[in-house]
Chains A and B, each alone.
Chain A
Amino acid sequence: MTASLILTLNPAVQYVLRLGDTCLIAGQRLAEWSGRGPVLEEDIALSNMALDLIGQARALLTHAGKLEGAGHDEDQLAFLRDERDFLNPTLVELPRGDFAITVLRNAILATFLKQLWIRLQGSSDSELAGIAGKAVKEARYHQQHAADWVARLGDGTDESRRRMERALRDLWLYVAELFDTDAVDEAAAASGLGPRWSDVQAAWTAEMDQILEGGKLSAPKTGAFRSDGKRGRHSEHMGYILAEMQHLQRSFPGGVW
Chain B
Amino acid sequence: MNLVAPPEPDTARLEQVWAVLDSVLDPEVPAVSVRDLGIVRDVVATGDGGIEIVLTPTYSGCPATEVIERDVLEAVHAAGLGPARVRLQRAPAWTTDWISEAGRQKMNAYGIAPPGPVLDQGESLVRVIPRLACPRCGSKRTERLSAFGSTACKALYRCIACQEPFEHFKPI
The answer on a CB contact under 8 Å between A55 and B127 is no
Surface stretch bound by B, among A1-9, A132-140, A179-187: A132-140
Task: Determine if A130 is an interface residue (Cβ-Cβ < 8 Å).
Answer: yes
Q: Is the interface of A mostly helix, strand, loop or mixed?
A: helix
The answer on a CB contact under 8 Å between B59 and A52 is yes
The answer on a CB contact under 8 Å between A131 and B90 is yes
The answer on a CB contact under 8 Å between A134 and B93 is yes
Task: Determine if A201 is an interface residue (Cβ-Cβ < 8 Å).
Answer: no
State the CA gap A211–B42 with chains docked (Å). Answer: 41
Total inter-chain residue pairs, C-beta < 8 Å: 86
Surface stretch bound by A, among B31-39, B46-54, B132-140, B147-155: B147-155
Chain B 58-75 interface mask (CB, 8 Å, partner A; 1/0): 011111000000000000
> Assuming the A-B contacts A41-B145, A45-B147, A144-B147, are A54 and B61 also in contact, with contact meaning beta carbons closer than 8 angstroms in the complex?
yes
State the CA gap A145–B152 with chains docked (Å). Answer: 13
The answer on a CB contact under 8 Å between A133 and B156 is no
Task: Determine if B57 is an interface residue (Cβ-Cβ < 8 Å).
Answer: yes
Query: Which residues of chain B are within 8 angstroms of A135 by Cβ–Cβ distance?
Result: 60
Query: Which residues of chain B are within 8 angstroms of A138 by Cβ–Cβ distance?
Result: 59-60, 152, 172
Q: What residue of chain A has the Cβ atom nearest to residue B152's Cβ?
A: A48
Q: What residue of chain A has the Cβ atom nearest to residue B63's Cβ?
A: A51
Q: How large is the interface on A (under 10, 10 to 19, 20 to 34, 35 or more residues)?
A: 35 or more
The answer on a CB contact under 8 Å between B91 and A145 is no
Task: Determine if A129 is an interface residue (Cβ-Cβ < 8 Å).
Answer: yes
Centre residue among A53, A129, A133, A207 by max chain B CB count within 10 A? A133
The answer on a CB contact under 8 Å between B125 and A211 is yes
Q: Is the interface of B mostly helix, strand, loop or mixed?
A: loop
Task: Determine if A240 is an interface residue (Cβ-Cβ < 8 Å).
Answer: no
Query: Which residues of chain B are within 8 angstroms of A126 by Cβ–Cβ distance?
Result: 91
State the CA gap A144–B172 with chains docked (Å). Answer: 13
The answer on a CB contact under 8 Å between B61 and A210 is no
Chain A 114-137 interface mask (CB, 8 Å, partner B; 1/0): 100010000000110111011101
Query: Which residues of chain B are within 8 angstroms of A59 by Cβ–Cβ distance?
Result: 60, 90
Chain B 147-172 interface mask (CB, 8 Å, partner A; 1/0): 11111100010000000000000101
Task: Determine if A67 is an interface residue (Cβ-Cβ < 8 Å).
Answer: no
Task: Determine if B92 is an interface residue (Cβ-Cβ < 8 Å).
Answer: yes
The answer on a CB contact under 8 Å between B148 and A44 is yes
Query: Which residues of chain B are within 8 angstroms of A53 by Cβ–Cβ distance?
Result: 61
Query: Which residues of chain A are within 8 angstroms of B145 by Cβ–Cβ distance?
Result: 41
> Assuming the A-B contacts A134-B60, A138-B59, A141-B170, are A45 and B148 also in contact, with contact meaning beta carbons closer than 8 angstroms in the complex?
yes
The answer on a CB contact under 8 Å between A48 and B151 is yes
Interface residues of B (CB under 8 A from A): 57, 59-63, 90-95, 123, 125, 127, 145-152, 156, 170, 172
Please give 9 more A-B residue pairs, beta carbons under 8 A apart, in addition to A44-B146, A129-B91.
A44-B148, A44-B156, A45-B146, A51-B62, A58-B60, A59-B90, A143-B125, A147-B125, A211-B125
Q: Which 7 A-B pairs have the closest CB atoms?
A: A55-B61, A55-B60, A130-B91, A41-B146, A130-B90, A45-B148, A51-B61
